[in-house]
Structure 1
């Protein structure tokens, strides 16, 4: 799985995407989750998402530094 930024109508949307092979062996992609509009996501909303993904793959949590 990976993330990508989709652009539609002048707006940007982060997506969680996975690659797979169909029955004929061709590589395809499918969107697993749309994560909202990029311009409306705040760090307070993004940090829990990053931490959850890190936990899912067995990595340490994201460290947030105060600015």
Structure 2
């Protein structure tokens, strides 16, 4: 979920996305207004993304069930 502070951080966000994707994660972003005003739509988009992308085999580095990201 990206807040207003991310509107001017396109280059930083692109680098962060590239890093996370290099670890095997898929990044999808939603703005605060979408989450606050249209949570059902956001959840629907997340569900669709999960149906479209099977889990990587093997799991991303570390493969643990809980993971803290930068």
TM-score, normalised by the number of residues in structure 2: 0.31
Q: Say which one has the larger Rg.
A: 1
Q: TM-score, normalised by structure 1?
A: 0.32
Whose helix fraction is larger, Structure 1's or Structure 2's?
Answer: 2
More strand by share: 1
Which structure ranks higher in relative contact order (CA pairs < 8 Å, sequence separation ≥ 6)? 2
